[in-house]
Structure 1
């Protein structure tokens, strides 16, 4: 096992935000990179259906603030967990599929998350272009596991947690599955908070 230094790259993730018909939000997806060296992240060609390491958030409700061409989403403190799927089963048409397998770590966002959507005026209408957010999350639980012939522990690799920078699509082009009215793809990159002491 190798521990990351503070501010060293921790992960790349991609997923989708899902909004239910009652306005609740949650994000689900998988990892493109984790600090688990010599461990296969995919069982075949990289994609959601072959990902061994997935994540799922606890649903939450966001508030909105507008400032000119900026639309701000205020997400409350909440939790998300990482899963090891020895037999990959992720499917973006079934968000709950990313919360299967062995829960290997749980994080809690350290504060309110502000997501920003930028709009540009085209003619007489403002069209959203992209969205971004930044948040820090503290590791609150970690379970050591064996995979790829080695023993791993997210707590050892990442230390206290991560700070993640995310970019999201803001134009709904992905048809939502039953029970949802909006789906937006995103990608996130995180750096390690490092260890105390």
Structure 2
């Protein structure tokens, strides 16, 4: 039997991108660099989105803007994101749907409003960095096989996670249907009872 991760232990590291759509919604998607409790490499080749076996994608959400001096805050509504096992890796940031075309293995729901903060550079007026933090509960999971072993995220993360994220201020090329895209990294810890 798989033991749950200890409370406050590292649950995962992810990297991905925020996609702001023309309809004023945002979604995030990406892949796992580390998923504690899963044995073996999470990649089929050198680590990248193209070789990632585990990906994620959120449902679109709308952020409510708040400004305080040179801080730009965004309050994101409660929402869900799903984790996928890609038995045939091949995701591409140019094709957001490629991150959600795998086998769904778990869905998490953010437990409260997410607050993101963007820090502005005083000299040139541009943005330096964006930070966010959220807690999410596991709402659904199913058992899956990976590299000869069986797993269920309900056993590993029964109470959910808290994740801290940092996003780049540099905008990337946006695929059709999106206005802005920026890269981020996230680090999550396991929640206890």
> TM-score scaled by structure 1?
0.95
Q: Could you tell me how far apart the structure 1 residues matched to 2:39 and 2:138 are?
A: 23
Q: Could you tell me how far apart the structure 2 residues matched to 1:126 and 1:178 are?
A: 28
Q: Could you tell me how far apart the structure 2 residues matched to 1:60 and 1:53 are?
A: 22
Q: Give the match for residue 143 of structure 2.
A: 144
**1:164-196, Cα deviation, whole Å (9 max, x unpaired):** 000001231x110111110010000000013x3
Q: Give the match for residue 191 of structure 1.
A: 189
**2:180 aligned with 1:182:** yes
**1:40-89, Cα deviation, whole Å (9 max, x unpaired):** 20000000000000000000111100000100011000000000001102
Q: Could you tell me how far apart the structure 2 residues matched to 1:38 and 1:17 are?
A: 28
Listed as ranges, the matches of 1:156-171 within 5 Å are 156-171=155-170
Q: Could you tell me how far apart the structure 2 residues matched to 1:33 and 1:66 are?
A: 34
**2:113 aligned with 1:112:** yes
Aligned length: 192
Q: Could you tell me how far apart the structure 2 residues matched to 1:117 and 1:180 are?
A: 20
Listed as ranges, the matches of 1:1-197 within 5 Å are 1-122=2-123, 125-172=124-171, 174-194=172-192, 196=193
Give 1:96 shift: 1.0
Structure 1: runs of 5+ lacking an equivalent: none
Q: Equivalent residue of 1:48, what SS?
A: coil
Q: Equivalent residue of 1:138, what SS?
A: strand
Deviating above 4 A after TM superposition, structure 1's stretches of 4 or more consecutive aligned residues are none
Q: Could you tell me how far apart the structure 1 residues matched to 2:12 and 2:83 are?
A: 12
Give 1:36 shift: 3.0
Q: Could you tell me how far apart the structure 2 residues matched to 1:61 and 1:96 are?
A: 19
